Amino acid sequence: MPHDQRYEVADEFMDIMYRLWNGSWADDSVKWDRENHIAYDPSRISKIEHKGKYLNLSARHQMHPSPQRTP
């Protein structure tokens, strides 16, 4: 793969990652209710759809967000 094309793929990959980190889980989706055994509200977790030039994704981020959202 040519040099410039590798950077295009990497940019598209990072766009997807930021959408998963910042847009998949709503701020109020994490519950941590031990009494009722509820960790999160699935209705507050959105599926991210991406159809790009190099990558396609239709998924939800599988981990709850960290406090800062992005690593």
Whether residue 39 lies inside any domain: the answer is yes
- The pTM of the full predicted model, rounded to 2 decimals, is 0.84
d(CA 21, CA 69): 6
Q: What is the pLDDT of residue 71?
A: 83
Q: Is residue 14 part of a domain?
A: yes
* Residue 22: inside a domain: yes
The whole-number pLDDT of residue 34 equals 92
**pLDDT given for residue 62 in this prediction:** 92
For residue 67, the model assigns a pLDDT of 87
Q: Pick left, alpha or beta for residue 9 (phi over 0 → left; psi -120 to 50 → alpha; otherwise beta).
A: alpha
The range of the structural domain enclosing residue 41 comes to 3-59
Residue 10 lies in a domain: yes
* Domain count within the chain: 1
Question: Residue 66 domain-assigned?
Answer: no
Mean pLDDT by 10 residues, the chain (71 residues): 96 97 93 91 95 97 90 83
Residue 6 is predicted with a pLDDT of 97
**Residue at 17 is within a domain:** yes
